[in-house]
């Protein structure tokens, strides 16, 4: 008897001992939480899955990668999600939380690539930025005369005279978002590392300074709905937005992307890791729920199928930068065997 079935049996026994009937715990719909970046891709798979199989269409919630991990790792049982999406890899601390709460067996699927873009309305003045300039615009602290001080830069031109003489206003995801984690690590920290002053920082100082976004109103947190950022940019030519490349592709007729270190975000540049803020996308499966929640194995097989993620797959049509064929074959094998993720893989 697996852990989930044991939990059901224990619950039912407790109900009978108390002299009341246990409420129905069965759930016939897959529950998925996590990344707002992966959400549109998972939604397309879920809709196809609900249409072409006898199983119900899975229920999806966009909670952010960090929020999804927290929910996913809370425990085993139908009150907890079955799958979580993430726009960055599970952290070792999250793996430990899962283990602590009995979520012992987890399978990881890397489903493709995405890039983080700095976008604006096509009516706005487009930006040509280095990662160093981006950090000097958005970092909580920046060096002035060799000292790290609260960011004094108000306008883009305060960072560099070649940039627009208008206020720094950037809308982006909250700390619970995997996009925010990736932005901090891949964009801000890389820009910070380009500064000579960063060489004198120890590990803790580097984390605190180089991966912290300013909180004085220049960076505006927009929640987990990237579409809200898109709508704001369309109506405000002084605003710039941080989100995944797929949202840029969906709105290419209305939005443009800044260059970063001279690179324009394209599917080819992201897939080859030439674009400096490219990242991998994932989903994680709670194995104790497979075979108990109807359709989980079939859903995973659909997500990793050639029809979904092949060179001409439907996820490529909606903006996912799909994995090469050898990686896709490995994903298909994983969908069959569901190997356990280990903490060593995350270190």
Q: Per-residue pLDDT tens for 4-44?
A: 444 433 333 233 323 323 333 478 999 999 998 899 999 99
The mean pLDDT value of the chain amounts to 90
- CATH architecture for segment(s) 26-114+279-346: 3-Layer(aba) Sandwich (3.40)
Per-residue exposure over 289-327, b if at least 16 CB sit within 10 Å of its own CB, e if not: bbebbbbbebbbbbbbbeebbeeebbbbeebbbbbeeee
Instruction: In whole angstroms, give the CA distance from residue 336 to residue 60.
Output: 23
| Arithmetic mean of pLDDT, 82-90 | 96
Same fold yes or no, 26-114+279-346 and 115-278? yes
CATH fold of 115-278 reads D-Maltodextrin-Binding Protein; domain 2 (3.40.190)
| Residue 90 contacts residue 35 (beta carbons within 8 Å) | no
| Arithmetic mean of pLDDT, 123-142 | 97
Give the helix ranges, DSSP H, for 197-285. 203-210, 226-235, 245-250, 267-271
Instruction: In whole angstroms, give the CA distance from residue 270 to residue 253.
Output: 20
Query: Crossing angle, helix 296-303 and helix 325-337, to 10 degrees?
Result: 170
Per-domain residue ranges for the chain?
A: 26-114+279-346, 115-278
The pLDDT of residue 318 is 83
In percent, the amount of the chain with pLDDT more than 70 equals 93
Contacts of 253 by beta carbon, 8 Å cutoff, 6+ apart: none
| Arithmetic mean of pLDDT, 284-313 | 96
The pLDDT of residue 276 is 94
pLDDT digits (tens, 9 = 90+) for 247-283: 898 899 999 999 999 999 998 898 888 899 998 999 9
- CB-hemisphere CA count at 13 Å for 33? 19
Other C-beta atoms within 10 Å of 21: how many? 9
DSSP 323: P
């Amino acid at each position: 008897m697996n852990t989930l079935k044991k939990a059901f049996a224990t619950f039912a026994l407790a109900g009978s001992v108390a002299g009341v009937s246990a409420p129905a715990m069965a759930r016939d719909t897959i529950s998925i939480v996590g990344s707002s970046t992966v959400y549109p891709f998972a939604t397309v798979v879920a809709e196809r899955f609900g249409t072409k199989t006898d199983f119900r269409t899975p229920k999806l919630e966009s909670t952010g990668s960090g929020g999804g991990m927290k929910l996913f790792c809370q425990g085993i049982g139908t009150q907890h999600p079955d799958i979580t999406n993430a726009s960055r890899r599970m952290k070792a601390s999250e793996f430990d939380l899962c283990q602590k709460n009995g979520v012992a067996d987890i399978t990881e699927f890397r489903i493709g690539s995405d890039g983080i873009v700095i976008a604006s309305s096509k009516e706005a003045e487009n930006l040509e930025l280095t990662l160093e300039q981006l950090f000097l615009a958005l970092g909580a602290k920046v060096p002035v005369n060799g000292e790290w001080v609260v960011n004094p830069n108000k306008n883009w031109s305060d960072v560099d005279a070649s940039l627009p003489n208008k206020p720094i206003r950037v809308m982006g995801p909250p700390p619970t978002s995997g996009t925010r984690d990736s932005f901090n690590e891949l964009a801000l920290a890389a820009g910070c590392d380009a500064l000579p002053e960063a060489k004198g920082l120890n590990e803790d100082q580097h984390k605190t300074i180089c991966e912290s976004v300013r909180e004085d109103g220049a960076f505006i947190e927009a929640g987990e709905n990237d579409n809200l950022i898109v709508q704001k940019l369309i109506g405000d030519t002084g605003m710039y937005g941080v989100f995944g490349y797929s949202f840029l592709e969906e709105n290419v007729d209305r939005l443009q992307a800044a260059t970063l270190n001279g690179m324009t975000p394209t599917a080819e540049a992201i897939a080859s890791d030439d674009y400096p803020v490219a990242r991998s996308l994932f989903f994680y499966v709670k194995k104790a729920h497979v075979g108990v929640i109807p359709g989980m194995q079939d859903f995973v097989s659909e997500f990793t199928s050639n029809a979904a993620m092949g060179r001409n797959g439907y996820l490529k049509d909606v903006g996912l930068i799909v994995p090469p064929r050898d990686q896709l074959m490995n994903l298909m094998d994983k969908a069959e065997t569901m190997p356990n993720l280990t903490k060593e893989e995350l270190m």
